[in-house]
Amino acid sequence: MARKQYFLGRVFGIPVGLDSSWFLIFGLLTWMLADDYYPAEFFNWSPVMYWVMAGVTALFYFASILLHEIGHSVVALWYKIQVRSITLFMFGGVAQIEGESPNAGAEFLIAVAGPLVSFFLAFVCNELLRVFSDNPPLLALFKYLAYINLALGLFNLIPGYPLDGGRVFRAMVWAITGDLPRATFIAAKVGQGFAFVFILIGFWKIFSGDIPGGLWIIFLGWFLKNAATTHIPSS
């Protein structure tokens, strides 16, 4: 990432920062929540209240993504693998883990740690719905966070490298073949396939009338395609 980075601090000694593209997605998510989600939940709030709750919810969402990446990083550190940084950006977050895992088992655990954190957060937020059943704003907040963390965990388990599910798939191929470069090649090719599926879905949504959603999915597919391609070992 060549764009400007904003340093936030360190977690377990790992530098945590924001890529400049984060501000765009934060603004878009806040706008969507203020314009759609919270007005649908509460008809009698003031516009200021919609925007305040939307901004708070967006911040909690990105805190969830940060915890997801910390999950990967903690397991990597357990295996004595250096984590150079954690960065939040337009498409979520990324932990810059240096080097390869020592074995397929370690690769599997590092990859699956992030989704497990997201599922745990979804469970906690769902349980908090009972605690705050008499507080409508907090009820709406944790309802959204429960849903979005569940969705985040499931999305990341799609077996398209370099998504977490793709890394799990690579670990499985590595365990079967004993050949890391071959496992990486196969996982990256599968990742390219899923990226093209995303792009096709994006075009379908555009032709169905959802132009913003379709463009976003196409952009996401393009990003995943490029990410998968860079992980294909050169011959």
Burial class (CB in 10 A: 0-12, 13-18, 19+), 195: buried
**Angle, CA 69 vertex, CA 68 and CA 73 arms, to 5°:** 125
Element (H, E) at 111: helix 104-131
Distance of alpha carbon 96 from alpha carbon 211, whole angstroms: 33
Q: Which amino acid is at 203?
A: F
Distance of alpha carbon 204 from alpha carbon 214, whole angstroms: 7
Which of these, 188, 125, 183, 175, lies nearest to 153 by C-alpha position? 125
Which of these, 77, 204, 232, 57, lies nearest to 141 by C-alpha position? 57
**CA end-to-end span of the chain:** 25
- Could you tell me if 70 and 92 are in contact, meaning their C-beta atoms sit under 8 angstroms apart? no
Q: Which of the 8 DSSP states describes residue 38?
A: H
Which residues are part of the catalytic machinery?
A: 69
- Could you tell me if 223 and 235 are in contact, meaning their C-beta atoms sit under 8 angstroms apart? no
Which of these, 72, 83, 84, lies nearest to 162 by C-alpha position? 72
